[in-house]
Amino acid sequence: MIEVKDLYYTYPTGLEALKGISLTVNDGEFLAVMGQNGAGKTTLVKHFNGLLKPTKGEILVDGVSTRDVSVAQLARNVGFVFQNPDHQLFSETVEEEIVFALRNFGFEKAVIEKQVDWALNLLDVTQYRKTSPFMLSGGERKRVALASILAWDPQVIILDEPTIGQDHQQKEKLQQFILQLNAQKKTVIVVTHDVEFVAECSPRVILMSQGKIVVDGTAKKILTNPKVLAQASIVPPQITQIFLELADLGLPTDVIDVHEATKILLNRLRKRS
């Protein structure tokens, strides 16, 4: 779905943000992009829908170079939810926010009404239908921004720090929703610092530092390796830290989520009894 070939990007200020990135994201894949602030994560994913154009190198989305098409053309297949929802919200009501893109893409009125109802219900913002999005909390505005993207059903969905401003319950809903999208063969790309969230979702992970990809692999492989994570100033998930401390007791050190940890500990107790 997305192919990145030797990508370099330098901002007008002279800051070289990306330095020779090569990456393939397969159709229907779930990818998490992680790294410290300034690593180049958001700069990278902004190339996937043409918001940024390569200084050097090439990006192909579904076989088409992003240099050859506009952001509007790419947006039909690549939906992008910004870290700060205020950067993409502008309508007077939540409903109009969701309607806007559907109308621009030429959906029929009946389809628009159906998709708006679906998106409002899905993201639990139906009660704010006639409310200005700028009257909502940060977490609610982020859900409105996501609803406005999902309504037109893009094949690729990019979420920049989606868990910021969300409480535990909303994080769990978001996790289940992302996994559901991925099960529907959508390509989902999440930019995040939230190691606990990534551990629970268990996607493919690329770890970035200083404009480069330093490691690419499974969540289990990367999140249970403190030395690798240290390159990006990231600490392992809390449950992983506990099991690393208990390694001398014969427990595995590659545990990343609570459900896995529970099974291991229960099995150990059954054997002892």
- CATH number of the domain encompassing residue 173: 3.40.50.300
161 pLDDT higher than 80:
yes
7 pLDDT higher than 90:
yes
pLDDT digits (tens, 9 = 90+) for 216-227: 999 999 999 999
146 lies in the same domain as 245: no
100 lies in the same domain as 164: yes
| Last residue of one domain, picked from the residues 223, 248, 264 | 223
**Mean pLDDT for all residues in the chain:** 91
Which residue in this structure is represented by tokens 């996501």?
A: 146
Domain count across the chain: 2
Q: Does 272 reside within a domain?
A: yes
pLDDT digits (tens, 9 = 90+) for 100-148: 989 988 999 999 999 999 999 988 899 999 999 999 988 888 889 999 9
- Tell me what pLDDT residue 209 has: 93
pTM, 2 dp? 0.90
Q: Where residue 72 falls among pLDDT bands split at 50, 70, 90?
A: confident
Concatenated DSSP letters of 221-249: HHHT-HHHHHTTT-PPPHHHHHHHHTGGG
Concatenated DSSP letters of 15-50: -EEEEEEEEEE-TT-EEEEEESTTSSHHHHHHTTTT
Strand order in the sheet with 56-61: 16-25, 2-10, 56-61, 64-65
Question: How many other C-beta atoms can be found within 10 angstroms of the C-beta atom of residue 7?
Answer: 23
Q: What's the DSSP call for residue 187?
A: E
Strand order in the sheet with 78-81: 78-81, 156-160, 187-191, 30-35, 204-209, 212-218
108 lies in the same domain as 150: yes
- Kindly tell me the burial class for residue 174, based on how many C-beta atoms sit within 10 Å of its own C-beta (0-12, 13-18, 19 or more): buried
165 lies in the same domain as 215: yes
Q: Where residue 61 falls among pLDDT bands split at 50, 70, 90?
A: very high
211 lies in the same domain as 254: no
Q: 215: which 2 tokens? A: 């490691």
Q: Does 186 reside within a domain?
A: yes
Q: Does 61 reside within a domain?
A: yes
Q: Where residue 165 falls among pLDDT bands split at 50, 70, 90?
A: confident
The alpha carbon dihedral of 163, 179, 24, 144 has a sign of negative
218 lies in the same domain as 248: no
Q: Does 13 reside within a domain?
A: yes
193 lies in the same domain as 254: no
3-state SS, residue 251: coil
Q: Does 230 reside within a domain?
A: no
3-state SS, residue 126: helix
What is the extent of the structural domain holding 122? 2-223
243 lies in the same domain as 219: no
136 lies in the same domain as 13: yes
> In this structure, are residues 4 and 33 in contact, taking their beta carbons and an 8 Å threshold?
no
Residue with the larger pLDDT of the pair 271 and 210? 210
| Last residue of one domain, picked from the residues 201, 223, 245 | 223
Q: Does 231 reside within a domain?
A: no
32 lies in the same domain as 150: yes
Residue with the larger pLDDT of the pair 202 and 56? 56
93 pLDDT higher than 90:
yes
209 lies in the same domain as 261: no
203 lies in the same domain as 256: no
**For residue 152, what are the CA distances in angstroms to 18, 110, 244, 246?**
31, 13, 44, 48
**Angle, alpha carbons 181-59-175 (nearest 5°):** 20
Q: Does 228 reside within a domain?
A: no
Q: Does 232 reside within a domain?
A: no
